Amino acid sequence: MVLLPIGLNWKRFSLPVERRTQETAFHWGCCYFYAEKTNRKKIKTWRESMLKRTKVLTIALAIILVLSQVVVFAEDSEPVVTITGEGVETELSLTLDELKAMPAEAQIEEEYIYNSKGGQKSVMVKGVSLAYVLQEAGVVEGEAEVTFTASDDWPIDPQPLTDVMDEELQYVLAYEVDGAVIDEDENPDNDEITVYRKVKEEGEFNTVFKMIVDINVSGLVEEVAEEEENIEEEEEVVPVEFTDITEEFGYAEEAINALAGKGIVDGVGDDKYAPEDYFTRAQFAKIMVLSLGYEPEEYQGGFSDVSAEDWEADYVQAAVDAGIFEGYPDGTFGPDNVITRQEIAAVAGRGAVTAEVVSQEKLDKFVMEKSAYLDKDSVPEWAANEVAWLEAEGIFEDFAVENFEPTLEVDRAQAAVVVYKTLLQE
Tell me the pLDDT tens digit for each residue of 143-175. 889 999 988 888 888 899 999 999 999 999 999
Average pLDDT, the chain: 83
For the chain, the domains span 12-74, 81-217, 236-424
Please give the average per-residue pLDDT across 265-290, as a whole number: 94
C-alpha 237/C-alpha 244 separation (Å) is: 21
Contact call for residues 214 and 81 (beta carbons, < 8 A): yes
CA 373 to chain centre: 17
Give burial (CB, 10 Å; 0-12/13-18/19+) of 161: buried
pLDDT per position as a tens digit, 320-346: 999 999 999 999 999 999 999 999 999
- Long-range Cβ contact pairs of 316-323 (< 8 A, separation 24 or more): 316/282, 316/285, 318/285, 318/289, 318/294, 319/285, 319/288, 319/289, 321/297, 322/289, 322/292, 322/294, 322/351, 322/354, 323/350, 323/354
The pLDDT score that the predictor gives to residue 142 is: 82
Lowest mean per-residue pLDDT among 200-209, 258-267, 279-288: 200-209
pLDDT per position as a tens digit, 40-57: 655 566 566 665 665 655
Lowest mean per-residue pLDDT among 72-76, 264-268, 278-282: 72-76
CA 210 to chain centre: 4
| Residue 314, number of CB atoms within 10 A of its CB | 17
Q: How far apart are the first and last CA of the chain?
A: 138
Superfamily of domain 81-217: Oxidoreductase, molybdopterin-binding domain (3.90.420.10)
Q: Over 90: is that where the pLDDT of 188 sits?
A: no
Please tell me the pTM assigned to this model.
0.60
Contact call for residues 249 and 272 (beta carbons, < 8 A): no
| Residue 410, number of CB atoms within 10 A of its CB | 22
Task: Say whether 125 sits in a helix, a strand or coil.
Answer: strand
Partners of residue 340 on adjacent β-strands: 409
* Element housing 31 (H / E): helix 17-76
- For 185, phi and psi rounded to 5 degrees? -90, 5
Q: Over 50: is that where the pLDDT of 87 sits?
A: yes
